[in-house]
Structure 1
Amino acid sequence: MITAEEKLNERIKELTCLYEVTSIIVNCDYNQIEDALKGILQCLKKAWRFTNDAQVIMVTDQYNLSTAPITEEVISLKSSIRVFNKKIGRIKVSYPARKYQASAFLEEESKLLKNVCMEVGNLLERKQIKDNEDIIRKKMERADRLGILGEITAGIAHELNTPLANILGFSELLKSKLEDDSQASKDLDKIINSTIFSREVVKKLMFFACEMPQQMSLVNINPIISHAINLMDPIFKKNKVVPELRFNADDIYLRADSIQLTQVIFNLVLNAIYFSPVRSKIEIQVTDKEDSVVIYIKDQGPGINPKTKDKIFEPFYSTKPVGEGSGLGLSVVHGIVKSHKGTIKYTANKPKGTIFALNFPKQ
């Protein structure tokens, strides 16, 4: 039997608990929300009638917290935590079964637990809203940066085109007049090759900046992809890597820009060749589905480092040594796929390597 004085003490503990929980939530730092939740559990523990024996556990889809580990059979009082009207977990207050029965819990304690669960749900709702706002803000900031970068790169590309064309033209003209000087001819070959490489970088800049006009038409992509792979045959042989090209249908039609599609295949397969070990295989699989066409490019290289996975589609980011990559290949691929209203994703290949999956909707 509970005396009037005991009842009053319990009400004071419950009101103190609600006050402390409200204070924790009001002053909560969303970056340290786990500490706030631990504090709420401690407040609950102190509010219970038999404080020393009470154990409080919170289990949600993100958190698993407790005031102490449960090592014996217990009796419990539970209440659900809801976020946007969806049950995502619960808080449970327990006593050791060897000392207490279910009647040890008070009706007021059940109401208190429900109120605290409601407050915790409201806190997690606000955190989720803030997290979503942060994601949207970062996306907008990134879009702004890419827009400005696109304008800058378009201007750079146009400015570089003319001098590069002059360097290439005059170098080839000079080479034709120095056929007897083998050393000078070799030096000019280096200039010509470097100019061609630079011109390709400029072309990628223009793709990235969306300055290359897109010519969309319904095309059979099988011969386009086959031709692209055949053109890379010398590179496959030089690197001792074996290509394996498969189509699930003789003719696969897609509304696409054939030149840009070739660019996508070139960039992804050349990347795969670069990172593939000797005597490994690169699979290019083209699958015709009801509403889309999916192209898989699978290599057996070292895979993508988890630390850099969020950067691989960023322009000018490259894991290759200086001078061996412009850092534009994957950003160009991403831009072309996006302009075709498609998606590009990557997963780990087994036992090792990377799989790029390009999904193009049939329009």
Structure 2
Amino acid sequence: MNLFQIIIFIGLIGNTVLGLFVLLSNPKRAANIGFFSLTLSMMLWLGSMFFCSYQHSPRMLLFWIRQTSMFAGLIPLGVSILKLTIVHDSLSLRRGFYELRYWLLVSFSIIILCHSSVFVLSASNPTASELVPPTEYGWGFIVYMAFFIGAIINFIFSFWRIAKGRGGAQKTEIQFLQLGCVASFIIGVFLIAFAEILGDQELSLFVPLSVLALDGFVAYGIATRRILAAPEVLQRVVSYLLMCLYLSVLYICAEWVGSHIFRWFVIDTTYFSGLLAALVVAFSVVPAQRWMQRFSYHLFSSSHQFDVDQVLEEAGHVFQEVSTDETLMALFSGFIIRAFQTTRVVLLKVGADGVFRHHYAFPEWGEKTDLSLSSQSSLVELVRRDAEPFTEDTLERMRPSILVNGARRDMRALGASVAVGSFTHKKLQMVVLLYPKTSRAIYDLREQKALQLVCNQLAVALENANLYTAVQNGKIYNEILLDSLTSGIVAVDDARQVTVFNQRAQTITHLPVEDIVNESMEQLPAALTEIVEKILTTGAGVRDYDTFIDTGEDRVPVRVSGSAFHGHTGKHLGALLVFSDMTLLRKMEERIRRTDRLSSIGTLSAGMAHEIRNPLVTIKTFTELLPEQYGNQEFRETFFDLVDQEVQRIDAIVNRLLNFARPAKASLKPVYLHDIIENSIRLVEQQVINNKIQLQTNLAAEHHLILADAEQINQTLVNFFLNAIQAMDLGGTLSVETMLNKSAICIDVRDTGCGLSEEHEKHIFDPFFTTKESGVGLGLSVSHGIIQEHQGTIHVDSEPGKGTVFHVELPLIDEKEI
């Protein structure tokens, strides 16, 4: 095969492959069938030309030239058929013949013209230096060429009229058909015309390749699932053509300059000048591409030129604003309306049941609309599977299947033009629906890719918005919860700044929150600052630590607990304090102590009554004998001495009772514990005797100086003694013993009474717990509180039927501190 035959063969194969590819991609679609009819007419034209190139007989050569020209004349008819199938999706055969009646008539006339004697006068076989057979045309060829020029003009105006009155995919397909026809027909007609005008038949050598321009443009516009808009394609084609032209001119100029420069150094400048020109072109490719793209962009710019970079930048600004779900939806929808010139945006969000329901629409529907898609719907399955947008046009171009047909029905039911999935972690979270554009143009490939990127960003932004909402709700919940607590809460971070200071903490400390939160912990009361510093430094917590907060007006007693807290990685985050105002509790404890003191006084008074009665009997006896023995001086002296002793004895008993009953305020002073024990024993001495109880004391501790309130310790010991006496109805032994334990002194009060059960032992120090028929059960509870206030410990050991032991331990102080 010669070059001409190779060119024909390439055109024939390319045309046939494209025709079959488009037909098989969707054999039921009218536009695909129309395109195949167009490629069929071009296959007949190229096939006739191929046979013509092999003829050696002048008669057969002339015959195949007529056949070639005839089939070329049928190409406009094929274009008209394709145009008709694009405009009318479903058209009957009869209606089709009616719409094409003029083209059929003109095509029949062209067939007659091509076989007339006025069309081709003669033809001869090409010589060894020629590839195209020399042909002499008659005046009929002028009519033939006028037909093609008229067809081109007709197509241009009819395509423009159709595109203006229609929108969407039909407009785009017509634009690509117009673009392909103009490119192909202009190339073919001008090559043939110039060949005839210049008398150089070799120019028509490349005419067969013109069909590939038509096939390429039209096949892209009809069969490609996702296409660019025709103006964008034309812009790119012009950009690359201009770049090729610019680089070609640049190469020629560089080669000419190089040849003139290198001739001074070498004889043959071909290699060096070519190398220079190649280097110049190589370094100019990138800037040339940028310049030509910018030039073509301005050349084809319109009122709304879609700029992907600008859209993505604006989307970034929208999604940077962390806000609520509703606000984000409004911002996103407004952005989509502006950027993509759509008439409406609808968002379908997946629910817990997997159904995608109407979540947001902008603009709002005029009437209530309940749009939804099940998770098994065809459109959702398709979007989830391919993770890319689907338009009405895309679905129409796809090969029919159960899934595709179902997606088409879903799209028509929704009335939308585009469905885009919004994914996070490869999971479909939302389906975004876009409705027709205001310009009725298609959503082209660039816009679809931008939409997918933006919708994926939307999913991430929605996740952030939900997290933001959850954090805000959690913050409000925590604030309400913290402010509802009856205890003060303080949190300090690792940088020693206060992060939490609830309402109760403000009330107890008399400090406003704005002066504390986000400020140094040094702004806290000194007592709290000291505890926080200890926790942050050592990492050890505190529990039920009693201290005072100085508010400037008074000293508030508080009980503080605190601990360090850590993150999930174990990193130290700060410290937390919980403290309670103990003022009311202290008052209640004081009232309980007074009640208990009065109860003890009643018990003590019963024993002291007998002790007071004895001196009174003595005084009464001497008083009755005084009138009779008044003259007896010895009697009078004895009487006076005896009465004085007995009165002092009564006075001492009453003073001990008054000292015990006096409600003095607690005052810690250095005192000797043994003196307090001995005084307490004297208070209950009469009860011990009356109940026939044996008293044993073993005050063996060598050091017994403590810091205490003597009256409160006295009250505590009396409570222990009275409980022991009441536990021994039939007599027994009450023993008191002291011993040293490092820096503390231990007091054991032991009885041989009835003892306590294990269950009663657990509640022995609970307020109002008692095992006696009479009494309110406050004595031991008060005693427990007093010992704790003195930084001591107390616990009980008891065994039913054997007795009970109270173990008390109090810290000692050094006598040097007195």
Which structure exhibits the higher relative contact order, with contacts defined as CA atoms closer than 8 Å and separated by 6 or more residues?
1
The structure whose residues are more often strand, as a share, is: 1
Task: Calculate the TM-score normalised by the size of structure 1.
Answer: 0.41
The structure whose residues are more often helix, as a share, is: 2
Task: Calculate the TM-score normalised by the size of structure 2.
Answer: 0.21
Instruction: Name the larger-Rg structure.
Output: 2
